[in-house]
Chain A
Amino acid sequence: SAVISQKPSRDICQRGTSLTIQCQVDSQVTMMFWYRQQPGQSLTLIATANQGSEATYESGFVIDKFPISRPNLTFSTLTVSNMSPEDSSIYLCSVEQGYNEQFFGPGTRLTVL
């Protein structure tokens, strides 16, 4: 399976600021995904990011709040904009490989004060 890294691993931010999370994969992948995991909760898909096209956002998530870039087949970024304490979560990227299997990065723990 792909080796996926995320930066930063954790951060504490002030409300109203923005944070960009990076996701790097050690092999080329077509589909990358960004998930949010709120404290004590399950994972919710934010958006699907394919290289060369606009990200596809799930209901309840908008591009102005969570802009995503996908400049090549091994890299993607997710920005959490104009943050509020409600954005405190773990943000995970994943990639699809093999038989519709998704493999996850280690996650970014974000705390907004």
Chain B
Amino acid sequence: AQTVTQSQPEMSVQEAETVTLSCTYDTSESNYYLFWYKQPPSRQMILVIRQEAYKQQNATENRFSVNFQKAAKSFSLKISDSQLGDTAMYFCAFYSTGAGSYQLTFGKGTKLSVIP
């Protein structure tokens, strides 16, 4: 079974600064996908960024980028130029279709507060 660990329950960052959220995972699968989701107080889950395990290049989406270390099973999210609207819960998620399962496995989340 896959597990996803987010070791930082809460973090804060000053507006316009950079913050990195950590995520590690455990799996025996070789082909999988990793995601970061954002859940603001409105509770809508929003896909922030995705990474395919077979790709060595780190994914980027505007101010959001990841540091994917496959051997270390690490998948951190970097948010540059933090904005007040980035305040939210951030969930790291693992996805694999191995054994016919289509389950997204989520970490416990990191609550990020952007301070003006």
A90-B50 contact in complex given A100-B95, A101-B35, C-beta closer than 8 Å? no
- Chain A residue nearest to B45 (CB atoms) is A104
Does any Cβ of B come within 8 Å of A87's Cβ? Answer: no
Docked pose: A96 CA to B35 CA in angstroms: 13
Does any Cβ of B come within 8 Å of A111's Cβ? Answer: no
Q: How many residue pairs, one in A and one in B, have C-beta atoms under 8 Å apart?
A: 49
- Chain A residue nearest to B95 (CB atoms) is A100
Which one of A41, A45, A106 lies within 8 Å of B103 (CB-CB)? A45
Residues of chain B at interface, number, CB under 8 A:
21
Docked pose: A99 CA to B82 CA in angstroms: 28
Which one of B35, B43, B50, B104 lies within 8 Å of A45 (CB-CB)? B104
CB distance from B77 to the nearest CB of A (A): 16
Does any Cβ of A come within 8 Å of B106's Cβ? Answer: yes
In contact, B104 and A102 (Cβ under 8 angstroms): yes
In contact, B45 and A48 (Cβ under 8 angstroms): no
Docked pose: A58 CA to B105 CA in angstroms: 12
In contact, A104 and B44 (Cβ under 8 angstroms): yes
| Chain A contact residues, CB within 8 Å of chain B | 1, 31, 33, 41-45, 48, 58, 90, 92, 94, 96, 99-104, 106-107, 109
8 additional A-B residue pairs with CB within 8 Å, beyond A45-B104, A96-B102: A42-B106, A42-B107, A43-B45, A94-B45, A99-B50, A100-B33, A101-B50, A106-B44
| Chain B contact residues, CB within 8 Å of chain A | 33, 35, 37, 42-47, 50, 52, 91, 95, 97, 102-104, 106-109
